[in-house]
Amino acid sequence: MKKCTFTVLIEKDEDGMFIASVPALKGCHSQAKTMDELLTRIQETIELCLEVDKEELYLNQFVGVQQVEVQV
């Protein structure tokens, strides 16, 4: 079995929930109350996404994250 490494973006919402998304896998998201729980859940979610649709894999190289300020 081949091992793959995925970039996981993690945010914290206004209720304190951690939210993870995997840009390389369309629709691959999870959430949890703790970081440990989130990492376990997103790993399981990645595995499920790969089982369902291996053809939707976009292995882009992660470059970075930048915050941009705009006036609203």
Residue spans of the domains in the chain: they are 9-56
Residue pair 58/23 in contact by the 8 Å Cβ criterion:
yes
pLDDT of residue 52: 83
What's the number of CA atoms in the CB half-sphere (13 Å) around residue 53? 10
Closest by alpha carbon to 7, among 55, 69, 57, 52?
57
Check whether 21 has a pLDDT greater than 90.
Answer: yes
Average pLDDT over residues 16-41: 95
Fold topology of 9-56: Double Stranded RNA Binding Domain (3.30.160)
- DSSP code for 62: P
Average pLDDT over residues 53-65: 73
